[in-house]
C-alpha cells in the first residue's frame, strides 16, 4: 500500500469523534483514524473527517457486509478518493452471527463482497480485512492489502504476520487506558469491550486458539485475559504493551481508547508511545 498509515491508528465510533476532535487526533500524531462500528455505505461521516483534516488517513473498521451494499460502498469510495486521493482505506468485515440473522457462509460471503468491490474498480491495495482465523487471514493475504483484527494479542499479530508474509499490512487493534490503578483499569475494561465482547463466538474462538481457556473467557474475563487485551498502567506500561505488537510484526498499533474521554486517552497513549520510542 502506498498510503502512509502512520505508526499509530485511533479507533473511534461516530459518537466519540467529530471533525474538530479528528483534528486533535491528527495533531497528537496519529496517522489513521479508523471509524468503527459498521459505518453506513455512503461513508458520509468519513468524508466529513477527511474534509476537516489535512494528512490524516480515514479507514472503516469495518464496513459490514450484511449492512453496507458493496456497490454503494464502491461508489462512495470513488467519490471520496477523487476529493482526497490517498487518504481513504476500506476495512471490511463479516460482522457477528449473534447480531445478523442473515449470517450464513461467512467466508463465501466475504469472497463475493470483495469480488463486487473489485469489479466496481476499488483497488485491492485500498482494502483490508478484519481477519482472525487462519482461513480469513489467507483471504486477506490473497485478496486485499492486509488485515485489521480486533481483540487480539501480540501473539496473534505474530501468527498473522507468518500467514500474510512480508509486504502485507498487519494492523491490530488494542484497547488502552492510562490508569495506574490495576483494579480500576480492569473494572473499566470489564464494563466495556473487551469484557462485554468475550461471548461473541468469533472472538472467543480466536482467543482459545491463542491459548486462553474457558475459565479465562467466563463472564467478563479473567485478570490474565483482561491484562492481555488492555494496555493499562503508567506511560511506560502503556508503551510496552502496545509496542509489543510492533515487535511481533505489526505495521501499525491501532488504539481502542477506554475511559470517559476517548480523545484524551488517545493523546495520553500517543505521548507515552512517542516518549518511549525517543528514549
The β-bridge relationship of strands 57-61 and 230-232 is unpaired
Q: Is residue 46 part of a domain?
A: yes
Q: Is residue 79 part of a domain?
A: yes
Q: Is residue 1 part of a domain?
A: no
User: Cβ(36)–Cβ(13) under 8 Å?
Assistant: yes
For residue 66, CA distances in Å to 45, 55, 179 come to: 19, 31, 37
Q: Is residue 99 part of a domain?
A: yes
The pLDDT, as a whole number, for residue 242 is 98
Dmax (CA) for the chain in angstroms is 51
Q: Is residue 39 part of a domain?
A: yes
Q: Is residue 81 part of a domain?
A: yes
Q: Is residue 270 part of a domain?
A: yes
Reference 28, options 48, 49, 55; nearest CA is 55
Between CA 181 and CA 234 the distance in angstroms is 9
The domain that holds 50 is classified in CATH as: 3.20.20.30
Q: What angle do CA 39, 43, 49 make, to 5 degrees?
A: 100
Long-range contacts of 134-138 (CB under 8 A, 24+ apart): 134/163, 135/107, 136/94, 136/107, 136/110, 137/163, 137/164, 138/163
C-alpha cell at 78: 470513488
The pLDDT, as a whole number, for residue 2 is 81
Per-residue pLDDT of the chain (279 residues; tens, 9 = 90+): 788 999 999 999 999 999 999 999 999 999 999 999 889 999 999 999 999 999 999 999 999 999 999 999 999 999 999 999 999 999 999 876 555 556 678 899 999 999 999 999 999 999 999 999 999 999 999 999 999 999 999 999 999 999 999 999 999 999 999 999 999 999 999 999 999 899 899 999 999 999 999 999 999 999 999 999 999 999 999 999 999 999 999 999 999 999 999 999 999 999 999 999 887
The pLDDT, as a whole number, for residue 99 is 55
Between CA 86 and CA 102 the distance in angstroms is 34
Between CA 73 and CA 43 the distance in angstroms is 7
How many domains would you assign to the chain?
1
Q: Compute φ and ψ for 97, nearest 5 degrees.
A: -65, -25
Q: Compute φ and ψ for 209, nearest 5 degrees.
A: -60, -30
Q: Is residue 2 part of a domain?
A: no
The pLDDT, as a whole number, for residue 12 is 98
Between CA 236 and CA 215 the distance in angstroms is 30
- What is the rounded (10 degree) CA torsion for 34, 36, 39, 43? -10
Write out the residue range of the structural domain in which residue 167 sits: 8-278
The pLDDT, as a whole number, for residue 106 is 87
Amino acid at each position: 500500500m502506498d498510503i502512509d498509515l502512520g505508526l499509530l491508528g485511533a479507533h473511534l465510533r461516530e459518537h466519540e469523534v467529530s471533525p474538530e476532535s479528528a483534528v486533535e487526533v491528527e495533531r497528537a500524531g496519529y496517522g489513521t483514524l479508523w471509524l468503527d462500528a459498521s459505518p453506513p455505505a455512503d461513508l458520509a461521516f468519513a468524508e466529513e473527517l477527511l474534509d476537516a483534516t489535512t494528512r490524516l488517513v480515514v479507514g472503516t473498521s469495518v464496513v459490514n457486509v450484511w449492512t453496507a451494499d458493496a456497490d454503494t460502498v464502491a461508489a462512495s469510495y470513488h467519490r471520496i478518493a477523487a476529493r482526497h486521493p490517498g487518504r481513504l482505506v476500506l476495512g471490511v468485515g463479516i460482522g457477528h452471527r449473534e447480531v445478523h440473522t442473515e449470517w450464513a457462509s461467512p467466508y463465501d460471503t466475504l469472497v463475493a463482497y470483495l469480488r463486487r468491490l473489485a469489479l466496481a474498480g476499488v483497488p485491492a491495495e485500498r482494502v483490508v480485512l478484519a481477519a482472525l482465523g487462519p482461513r480469513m487471514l489467507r483471504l486477506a493475504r490473497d485478496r486485499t492489502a492486509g488485515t485489521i483484527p480486533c481483540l487480539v494479542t501480540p501473539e496473534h499479530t505474530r501468527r498473522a504476520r507468518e500467514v500474510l508474509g512480508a509486504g502485507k499490512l498487519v494492523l491490530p487493534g488494542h484497547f488502552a487506558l492510562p490508569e495506574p490503578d490495576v483494579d480500576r483499569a480492569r473494572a473499566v475494561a470489564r464494563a466495556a469491550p473487551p469484557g462485554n465482547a468475550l461471548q461473541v463466538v468469533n472472538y472467543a474462538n480466536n482467543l482459545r486458539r491463542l491459548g486462553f481457556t474457558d475459565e479465562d473467557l467466563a463472564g467478563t474475563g479473567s485478570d490474565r485475559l483482561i491484562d492481555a487485551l488492555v494496555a493499562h498502567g503508567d506511560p511506560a506500561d502503556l508503551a510496552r504493551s502496545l509496542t509489543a505488537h510492533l515487535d511481533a510484526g505489526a505495521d501499525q498499533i491501532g488504539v481502542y481508547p477506554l475511559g470517559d474521554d476517548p480523545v484524551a486517552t488517545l493523546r495520553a497513549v500517543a505521548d507515552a508511545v512517542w516518549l518511549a520510542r525517543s528514549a
